[in-house]
Amino acid sequence: MTLDQLMSSVAYERARYQGRERVMEMLVDGSIDDHPMTTKVDATIELLSYPIARMIVSAVADPGFVRRYAIAEAKKANERLRNEDIPFVMKVAGELGLDVSPEDGGFSIDFADFLRFSAKMRSKSWKLVNQKIQKGRVQLTKYRLTRIIESVLTEKFSSELPLEVNEAILGKFAREIEEIKAVLEVRRKEQRTEGMGRVSIVRFPPCMKKLLEMIRAGENVPHSGRFALVAFLHTLGMDSEEILETFSTAPDFDERKSRYQVEHISGEISGTEYTPPECSTMKSYGICFDPDDLCQRIKHPLSYYRFKRRAFRSRK
């Protein structure tokens, strides 16, 4: 079918509806649901909902939203691949440019591919030093191969989007686009005033609160301050995407540079997960701001946050 048919024909109304649902599921739940595919028609509708979803995401054109969509699509693909037979999984891997071979009941992959696409796996079990390697090839189970494919797909989808969209697409999905943008704006406002997912700004030490305020306001923050804040957020359990989204409200936000810095500090590309400096080091860097009474009793910003968290729980 043509793009015009997909956008306007009554025959594809269900596909357009399911494409909208695909995006809204990701927006609300962070994942894409399973849909019925018991017939060839069902399968075709599910297939066509994918380009519809890409159109809507491209029309919104929010970098953080695009990245979350790419992650959700890749995770759904991983779920489905786990239920496929080995020849099919290998075929998909090959189409994505991975050099995969069957090996001893499992698979092997070129170590360069393994390094590239496992770099963001935080578990130590993914470190190259913990792998079985023969003649430059890393041995993998089916589960690990589909996880590598998920990483490839995340990178692929992120690099492809947003696509250019025409006026017909913007008009057709105007309501959905505005609704998504409104939700994203509300979430940003909540992040500025309340917390960041599992992390509560209320419990931040004064130094980290100040650094976060400075970055979001577009003020000049020294490298030592950016390093300290990213390491602090990462140690509290925020992943790179959450940290980037936290910084994305800054007027001078540069996603490419920020992503490199965040992924380096979090160990995704450097191999070393950094922790924030202790209070004495923060003082020597000139980034210890407005210390309060609790600051006088602790030696590390993380200790401040944990003390506040324990105090909050004890009051419940």
| Predicted local distance difference test score (pLDDT) of residue 274 | 87
Ranges of the chain with pLDDT below 50: 193-196
| Predicted local distance difference test score (pLDDT) of residue 132 | 92
Instruction: Read off the amino acid at residue 42.
Output: D
Alpha carbons within 13 angstroms on the beta-carbon side of residue 87 total: 0
* Reported CATH class of domain 81-144: alpha beta
| Predicted local distance difference test score (pLDDT) of residue 209 | 92
CA 295/CA 279 separation, integer angstroms = 9
**90-148 pLDDT, tens digit each:** 999 999 999 999 888 889 999 999 998 887 776 778 888 889 999 999 999 999 999 99
Structure tokens at 43: 């399968």
Q: Is the dihedral of CA 297, 310, 290, 212 positive or negative?
A: positive
Residue partners of 72: CB distance under 8 A and separation at least 6: 26, 30, 31, 32
Prior bond to 162 cis, omega within 30?
yes
| Predicted local distance difference test score (pLDDT) of residue 195 | 46
| Predicted local distance difference test score (pLDDT) of residue 312 | 65
| Predicted local distance difference test score (pLDDT) of residue 220 | 75
| Predicted local distance difference test score (pLDDT) of residue 310 | 77
Are 149 and 93 within 8 A, CB to CB?
yes
Instruction: Read off the amino acid at residue 263.
Output: E
Residue spans of the domains in the chain: they are 3-61+162-181, 81-144, 194-315
pTM for this one? 0.65
List C-alpha distances in Å: 221 to 153, 181, 214, 215, 285: 34, 29, 7, 7, 12
| Predicted local distance difference test score (pLDDT) of residue 89 | 95
| Predicted local distance difference test score (pLDDT) of residue 196 | 47
160 - beta bridge partners? none
| Predicted local distance difference test score (pLDDT) of residue 30 | 82
CA angle 219, 221, 223 (to 5 degrees): 155
Are 104 and 157 within 8 A, CB to CB?
no
Instruction: Read off the amino acid at residue 100.
Output: V
Q: Is 31 exposed, middle or buried (0-12, 13-18, 19+ CB in 10 A)?
A: middle
CA 177/CA 61 separation, integer angstroms = 10
CA angle 45, 184, 14 (to 5 degrees): 15
